[in-house]
Every structure is written in C-alpha cells, then in structure tokens.
Amino acid sequence: MTNVVSHRNGFCSILGGSPVSTPPRSTATLVVRRFDRERPHLLEQTEHSVSITPNKTILSALLEIQAEQDSTLVFRASCRHGACGSCTMDINGRPRLACSRLLRDEVNAKGNVFIGPLAGVAVVRDLIVDLSPFWKAYRESKPWLIRYENRAPRREFRVRPDELSAFEGADACVLCAACWSACPVTRAGRFDGPHALLKTHLRVTDPRDESPGERLRGVADDFGAFRCHGVLACASVCPKGIDVSEAVFALRASMTHAKAIGEERRERQPSLLGNAPENTEKEP
Ligand code: SF4
Ligand code: FES
C-alpha cells in the first residue's frame, strides 16, 4: 500500500522504499556570450536549446548549434578528444576544454549552461580569443631541446627512471591556455605565464637538454618565476591535472643551485647514449 510521500534534499522517497531521483533533463539551454570586435556594438547573448544525450559534450552541442541553428557562431576546435588544446572556453565560469566536458554534467538546476570566451584574454569574435601573448611567452621559453652539437642522435637517449619521474606529467601539457586565463598575475601585466614556466621546468629537469643553467637565468628576472604569487589557480583548472604551481616552485628551488645543475648535466651527456660515442654509430 502506498502511504506517505516525502520530499527532502531534492529526492522524492516513499517511506519504506528507496529514494527515487528526479528524472534527468532531456534538454539544456546553452547561453552563449557573443562578441565581434569589428562590430563591438553587437555585444549580445544568445540562447540555444539542445537535447541532452549521455555522451554529448559541450563541443558536440556547439557543433550542433552551428550546423542547425546559427551558422554565425564561431569557436575553435580540432581533435575532439582533449589532445589539441584548441577548444578551451569559459564554461560556467571556469576555463574548460569543451570537448572534455559532458553537457549533462554542466547543466544547472534551471537547465542552463553558460558559455563564453576565455576570461582575461582579448576576444576576437564569439568564443575565439587572441592568444598571441600566450604563444609569444611560449616561444620565448624555448620549448625545444637545446643540444650544443646540433645533430640528431643516431640512437635513443637512455633516460633513467628517476630522471623521467622528475619531469613526468609536465610533458602532458596540451597548451590549452586554461592556466593562462585563470592566472591573476598574467591578467595584471607582464609575466612569463604558468605554461611557459612549466615548459622551462620540463627542460631544466630533462637530462637531454644541455642548457639548464641558461634557462634558469632566463626566468630569474622580474617577469619570471618569482612573479608568481602562489595563487594556485593554474593547477586548479588544468584539464590534464598538471600541478603547474608545483613546477614553478620547483623551478625557484632549482635557481639556488643552477651552477651545480649545469655541471651535472654536462657530466651526464656521454652516458645518455648508453656510453657509446654517438659518432661511431653507422648509418642504417
Ligand atoms: S599546463 Fe594545463 S592548463 Fe596550462 S596550458 Fe598546459 S594543459 Fe593547459
Ligand atoms: S578539440 Fe582538441 S582539445 Fe578539444
């Protein structure tokens, strides 16, 4: 016999039975902040209704809107599986990869999802922002391996497990700019930025790189590692779970013994190729 029904904390339960959750929503409204810097007077917000399916991502929803509702909506995306870093945007107030967030997880109690361009970055149009300062800082960090003898090795580098663990994870960065957008110091003015400092840390700890001392001197100025205020916003938003702030702190610690790191790196080079002189290898 059905008798008493109670409603508590959003659940409907029949006394004596188990809690029954409210049925999941079948549609969501994407509320999108729009902008065109060539027509700044057209600043607006558009709303688009889409169906919710178990595996639909925010990016899939945006592609659907672009194909079926509003072909003027623009955004960046490429790989659709969290590898290229190009679909970063503001989703419910946080920088996120649109292809890695499920629509059903982002929709609020009223059925809305708020989408906008990355915060703190100049907008070009709709969800596309101008990442030139981000890429400039990245290039200036010299993210490539610096080898004094400018030739490709003829056999693999032999990196020890303990050396690998020092930079493991830092190499997972997909250059999505979420940390750049979240960092209050990059917003306030000139700063190398979390992604560039992460890359410097990666190369300083990588035994294949022959220029750790130079790199450490490069981030010791007023706009480098010591400008970080330790807010930790970068680590909290990184879609790859990289503790970016930890990398910045490790970089600061390395600066105090930059000379020793440089000497150790020089001594390490001959054994990186398995103790065999590289130029004795024959071409295959
Ligand atoms: S460190 Fe994380 S948040 Fe920053 S650019 Fe790389 S992947 Fe994106
Ligand atoms: S489309 Fe490549 S990371 Fe989202």
Is the CATH code 1.10.1060.10 the one for domain 132-280? yes
Same fold, 27-129 and 132-280: no
Tens of pLDDT along 139-186? 999 999 998 876 667 788 889 999 998 888 889 999 999 999 999 999
Lowest-confidence region among 49-58, 80-89, 121-130, 161-170 = 161-170
Q: 190, 241, 197: which is closest to 219 by C-alpha?
A: 197
Lowest mean pLDDT among 27-41, 104-118, 122-136, 240-254: 27-41
**Residue 178, ligand 1, Cβ within 6 A:** yes
What type of residue is 148?
A: Y
Give per-residue pLDDT as tens, 93-138. Answer: 999 999 999 999 999 999 999 999 999 999 999 999 999 999 999 9
11, β-bridge pairs: 8
Contact 281, 155 (CB under 8 A): yes
d(CA 57, CA 265): 45
Q: 256 CB contacts (<8 Å, ≥6 apart)? A: none
CB-based contact 198:177 (threshold 8 Å): no
Q: Tokens in use for 104?
A: 């059903």
Q: Is the whole-model pTM more than 0.95?
A: no
Four-CA torsion 40, 42, 43, 47, nearest 10 degrees: -150
Domain regions of the chain by residue span: 27-129, 132-280
Name the burial class of residue 84, with classes exposed (0-12), middle (13-18) and buried (19+) by CB atoms within 10 angstroms of its CB: middle
Cα torsion through 237, 239, 243, 247, rounded to 10: -100
Crossing angle of helices 194-205 and 244-255, in 10° steps, is: 60
Using the structure block, give the residue that is written with the tokens 């490539």: 144
Q: Is 248 in the pocket of ligand 1 (CB under 6 A)?
A: no
In this prediction, residue 12 has a pLDDT band, given cuts at 50, 70 and 90, of: very low
* CB burial of residue 178 (10 Å; 0-12, 13-18, 19+): buried
- Has residue 215 got a pLDDT over 50? yes
DSSP 8-state class, residue 48? E
Mutate to test the pocket of ligand 2, among 87, 96, 175, 238 (most ligand atoms within 8 A of CB): 87
b (16+ CB within 10 A) / e for 215-224:
bbebbeeeeb
pLDDT at 16 over 60: no
DSSP state letters, 198-218: HHHHHHHH-TT-S-HHHHHHH
Count the Cβ atoms, other than its own, within 10 Å of residue 126: 23
The candidate with the shortest Cα–Cα distance to 261, out of 155, 144, 150, 166, is 166
Contact 193, 181 (CB under 8 A): no
Contact 31, 127 (CB under 8 A): no
**pLDDT at residue 17, rounded to an integer:** 47
Give the residue, 9 or 140, on which the prediction is more confident: 140
Q: Is the pLDDT of residue 198 over 70?
A: yes
Looking at residue 2, what is its pLDDT? 31
Instruction: Label residue 8 by pLDDT band (50, 70, 90).
Output: very low
- Which CATH code for domain 27-129? 3.10.20.30
Which of 60, 66, 97 maximizes ligand 2 atoms within 8 Å of its Cβ, making it the mutation to test the pocket?
97
243, 235 contact by CB (below 8 A): yes
The answer to whether the CB of 82 is under 6 A from ligand 2 is: yes
Name the average pLDDT for the chain.
87
What is the best residue among 62, 79, 115 to mutate for testing ligand 2's pocket, by most ligand atoms within 8 Å of CB? 79
Identify the helix (H) or strand (E) that includes residue 247. Answer: helix 244-255
